[in-house]
Structure 1
Amino acid sequence: MLIYNTTFQVDDEVCDNFVIWIKESYIPEVEKQGTLKQSRFCKILSHRSEGSSFSLQWEVENSSLLHRWHMEQGTKLNEELMKLFENKVIGFPTLMEVIA
């Protein structure tokens, strides 16, 4: 089992709208396809004075399925994110393997 994590750095001025978009649009859209499962959306606790950080995690069976998801759906959703929030939201993906 793999965990596909994206850490987002979000400017204060768009933070509320970003959280709404992730919860009401992004997550439901990904869940429709069914490749990525068990979403976890977390706020990262930090001492930074500007902006907020969030982690969005999904379980995926293997890297081939993740690649297919990215080609079929992930790229389109990333384009939507960029269109809506421009450079006010930056995402950093990480793929992790569950050990225990």
Structure 2
Amino acid sequence: MFIYNITTKVDTAIHDAWLQWMLDVHIPEVLGTGCFEKHQLVRIREIDDSDGPTYAIQYYAAGKALYNRYIQQYAPALQLEVRKTWGDSIVSFNSLMEVVN
């Protein structure tokens, strides 16, 4: 099992709209690719939230081939949509994790 993790710092001014968009639009689009079995969206705590909260969205892929398919076929367009929608109001970084146990 592989976990594609995207950690995002969200500007306070757009927080509510961003969160609703993630729940209603973006997460369903990513899951709609068929590359991931499930997801979880978590808010990171015990960090400085004075300029906005930080979230991590985790998408679970059954194998590396499904993750690679997502990255090659779907991620570029979906990432462009994120940039067009939110611009500099969010800052994100991605990581890939493999479940060991």
Name the TM-score, length of structure 1 as normaliser.
0.92
Unpaired runs of at least 5, structure 1 = none
Note if 1:99 corresponds to 2:100: yes
Partner residue, 1:4: 4
Q: Is the contact between residue 9 and residue 92 of structure 2 (CA under 8 Å) also seen in structure 1?
A: yes
Partner residue, 2:79: 78
What's the CA shift for 1:62?
Answer: 2.6
Q: Aligned partners of 1:72, 1:9: CA distance in 2, in Å?
A: 26
Cα shift readout 1:54-88 (whole Å, capped 9, x = no counterpart): 00001112333212212221111110110011011
Paired residue type of 2:22? I
Alignment coverage as a number of residue pairs: 100
Find runs of 4+ consecutive structure 1 residues off by over 6 angstroms.
Answer: none
Paired residue type of 2:34? G
RMSD: 1.2
Matches within 5 A, 1:1-100: 1-48=1-48, 49-100=50-101
Cα shift readout 1:11-60 (whole Å, capped 9, x = no counterpart): 11111111011100011111222111211011111341211100000111
Q: Is the contact between residue 4 and residue 59 of structure 2 (CA under 8 Å) also seen in structure 1?
A: yes
Q: Is the contact between residue 44 and residue 55 of structure 2 (CA under 8 Å) also seen in structure 1?
A: yes
Q: Aligned partners of 2:2, 2:36: CA distance in 1, in Å?
A: 10
Of all paired residues, the percent bearing the same amino acid is 28
